């Protein structure tokens, strides 16, 4: 992944869940393998993943 921007809060809980699931997949081993295989991307390191994951985990529905 080059750049990814997402909100930390969404008014719709379903949208928050979808965004969180998508970004979690992108950062996962499976997502990185798919990106590498289909687009030739270099996978992110475990260090990068551990940096990104807390931000992904913080995505939630507002209120």
Structural domain containing residue 47: 13-61
How far is 40 from 58, CA to CA, in rounded Å?
29
Long-range contacts at 5-10 (CB < 8 A, ≥ 24 apart): 6/59, 7/59, 8/55, 8/58, 8/59, 8/60, 9/59, 9/60, 9/61, 9/62, 10/59, 10/60, 10/61, 10/62
Tokens of 24: 């979690």
Tell me the per-residue pLDDT of 12-28, one tens digit each, with 9 for 90 and over. Answer: 999 999 999 999 999 99
Q: What's the whole-model pTM score?
A: 0.85
Q: Per the structure, how many domains does the chain have? A: 1
In-domain check, residue 2: no
Question: Diameter of the chain by CA atoms?
Answer: 40
In-domain check, residue 4: no
In-domain check, residue 5: no
In-domain check, residue 6: no
Tell me the per-residue pLDDT of 2-61, one tens digit each, with 9 for 90 and over. Answer: 678 999 999 999 999 999 999 999 999 999 999 999 998 899 999 999 999 999 999 999
In-domain check, residue 27: yes
């Amino acid at each position: 992944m080059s750049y990814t921007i997402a909100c930390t809060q969404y008014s719709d809980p379903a949208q928050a869940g979808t965004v969180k699931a998508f970004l979690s997949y992108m950062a996962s081993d499976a997502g990185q393998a798919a990106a590498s295989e289909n687009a030739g991307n270099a996978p992110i390191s475990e260090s990068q993943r551990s940096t990104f994951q807390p931000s992904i985990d913080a995505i939630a529905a507002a209120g």
